[in-house]
Amino acid sequence: MSNSHDHKPGFFARWFFSTNHKDIGTLYLIFGILSGLIGGYLSFMMRLELMEPGFQVFDNPHTFNMYVSMHGLLMIFFLVMPALIGGFGNWFVPLMIGAPDMAFPRLNNLSFWLLPTALICLLISMFIPGNPSGDGFAGSWVMYPPLSTSGHSGPAFDFVIIGLLAAGFSSIFGAINFITTIFNMRAPGMTMHKMPLFAWSVLVTAWLLLLALPVLAAALFMLFFDRNAGTGFFDAAKGGDPEMFQHLFWFFGHPEVYIMVLPAFGIISHIISTFSRKPIFGYLGMAYAMVSIGVVGFIVWAHHMYTVGMDVDLKAYFLAATLIIAVPTGIKIFSWLATMWGGSLSFSIPMQWALAFIFLFVVGGVTGVALANAGYDAAVHDTYFVVAHFHYVLSMGAVFGIFAGFTYWFGKMSGYLYNKYLAAAHFWFFFIGVNLVFFPQHFLGMQGMPRRYVDYPAEFAFYNKISTLGAMVTLVGVLFFLLWLAEAFIVKRKAADNYWGEGANTLEWTLPSPPPFHQFNTLPRIK
């Protein structure tokens, strides 16, 4: 019953020794934005290089591929996961379920502080020898051996391994924390079937993290020992098999892609419901659609490996299982549409991001279903078609989800309102930009342009040029993002408790903006 909790600790203790879910969530968001800027810089350099045939920016193809690899790793492990799960999950899961904090506040802070460690390892790796061709690791985020073993003799990749292990344990601890919080700390009366969908989405995501990441950890250890201690897991000369790495990796990797998008699903559900002034259509269906996506997500991994030469029967199985995931995904899309049907819609900034999310995610989902067909995939595997697919679901799915959530909750988190016009400029430049970047890549892929090459023949020049122009438009969008962020903190327009009004009816809107350092000293009761 002490009152000491009501006082905020001093600066250093507050931000470095934190045990407060909101502060840790803020740290995650800042961290995500910073790594996103680094990852974005890398991708912008890649696009400048690919603007025209020939060499523009890079004089060493190895460096180009190193940028590709680091871009992927940074965006996945250091932007999307920290922002969606660490950032919004930390901020809003306890608020939405009516809990005063996370179950294990110290462990929560460990989850965060392992990430700077991991990032440092990855950044170091870029400046130390990767292999005789250059510095850094250039074997893509999928890290297939033998390129990642005998193909990268320098210590750069060892740092990548250590960094990913640290990031992995960060997520595992985070997952334990979220599941325990959700199972054990819901406010009186909040049954699982009354729990807001964002909390559901984080719950499913946490299970995926908990069960998938240890397998990646095992695979990373195998790589580490193959490289440094002479084991032969992926060395055919010793009886091992590099293909087995792909199995282990994608057993983690496919759940991972859903880890990145499920929290965005949750966020979008809240936004659509808020700005339609209607409860979400088919709430239980929405929750269990996510559960089934999570379950089925574990048994489809080999659709990333159709071209390794696997048995036709096996291909048929993975094809069918993969297509099945489209069913719960479809349930979600149609529920969002049905929620809007007959609602009184308002096209606020978060709603624009959410609508764009739905539209673009459908595009990515449709190309996913196309790729799931092993026969078709054989033609476009490892081409820009795949790049277009996963950027439609990631940089327009997951990232749009992040921006949707950020613009939805920014006032709640910071206490300030942003300038609508700057935020709208951010949205439109970003929306047009990313579509210009990635839509032409479908055509490039179908024409046969392979991924991960620094150069290409003149036939591919046209669409590549458009794509790079799109990157410039996107950059303007990012600048507007930073601008509205800075403006909001400079001008300090105070946000009301519930600045979206009727429609926003989860528990976080019953609290002041920003909420007190410790909320719910008296637990809310849910009828």
Partner 1 sequence: MADHAVEHDYHLLPPSPWPFLAGLACTVWGVGMVAFFAGLYPRNAADPNGLMEFLFSRGMDMFGAEKVSNGGWIFLALGCIFATIVMIGWWRDVAKEGNTGDHTPVVQIGLRYGMIMFIMQEVMFFVGWFWMFFEFVLFRKERANWNPDVLEGASAYADSYGLNAAGNQFSTIGAWNLPLLNTLVLLLSGTTVTWAHHALIKNDRKSASTGLVLTFLLGFIFIFLQGLEYKEAFHERLANGFWLDSNIYGSTFFLATGFHGLHVLIGAIFLFSIWLRLIKGSMTPKQHFGFEAAAWYWHFVDVVWLFLFTFVYVVFAMG
Residue 130 belongs to what H/E stretch? strand 129-131
Structure tokens at 65: 């591929």
Q: How many residues does the chain have?
A: 527
* Residue 269 among the catalytic residues: yes
For residue 350, give both structure tokens.
């978060």
- 206 belongs to the binding site for ligand HEM (CB under 6 A): no
- Picking from 99, 88, 437, the residue whose alpha carbon sits closest to that of residue 265 is 88
Distances (CA, A) of 92 to 53, 56, 197, 202: 47, 45, 11, 10
Residues 247-266: x where in contact with Cu ion by CB under 5 A, - otherwise, as a string: -------x------------
Site mask, ligand HEM, residues 377-396, x = CB under 6 A?
Answer: x---x----x--xx--xx--
Q: Which is nearer to ligand HEM, 110 or 211 (CB)?
A: 211
For residue 459, indicate whether it is catalytic. no
Q: Which does 184 bind (CB under 5 to 8 A by kind): Cu ion, partner 1, ligand HEM, none?
A: partner 1
CB of 309 to partner 1, least distance (A): 5
Cα 471 to Cα 391: distance, rounded to the nearest angstrom: 13
Active site residue 170: yes
Rg of the chain over CA atoms, in angstroms? 23
Question: Given the structure tokens 């250059």, which residue do they identify?
Answer: 134
5, interface contact from partner 1, Cu ion, ligand HEM, none, CB < 5-8 Å by kind:
partner 1
**397 is a contact residue toward ligand HEM (CB under 6 A):** yes
- Whether 451 is a known active-site residue: answer yes
Asked if 315 interacts with ligand HEM (CB under 6 A), we say no
Nearest to 267 by CA among 290, 237, 247: 290
Rounded Cα distance between 225 and 203, Å, is 34
Q: Which of 365, 433, 470, 477 binds ligand HEM (CB under 6 A)?
A: 365
Q: What proportions of the chain, in percent to the nearest 5, are helix, strand and coil?
A: 70, 0, 25
From partner 1, Cu ion, ligand HEM, none, which one binds at residue 368 (CB under 5 to 8 Å depending on kind)? ligand HEM
Contact partner at residue 159 from Cu ion, ligand HEM, partner 1, none, CB < 5 to 8 Å by partner kind: partner 1
Are the beta carbons of 466 and 436 closer than 8 angstroms?
yes
From the list 142, 211, 424, 475, which residue makes contact with ligand HEM (rule: CB under 6 A)? 142
Catalytic position from the list 47, 254, 278, 389? 254
Active-site option among 451, 452, 465, 518: 451
The residue among 221 and 443 lying less far from partner 1, judged by its C-beta, is 221
| Residue pair 84/398 in contact by the 8 Å Cβ criterion | yes
A 10 A CB-CB count for 200 gives: 26
Q: Taking CB within 5 to 8 Å according to partner kind, which of partner 1, Cu ion, ligand HEM, none is near residue 392?
A: none
Q: DSSP readout, 72-92?
A: HHIIIIIIIHIIIIIIIIHHH
Any catalytic annotation for residue 171? yes
Is residue 273 annotated as a catalytic residue, yes or no?
Answer: no
Q: First-to-last CA distance in the chain?
A: 27
Question: Can you give the binding site for ligand HEM, defined by CB under 6 A?
Answer: 142, 257, 260-261, 303-304, 322, 325-326, 329, 365, 368-369, 371-372, 377, 381, 386, 389-390, 393-394, 397-398
The residues annotated as belonging to the active site are 71, 101, 141, 170-171, 254, 256, 258, 269, 303-304, 329, 332, 451
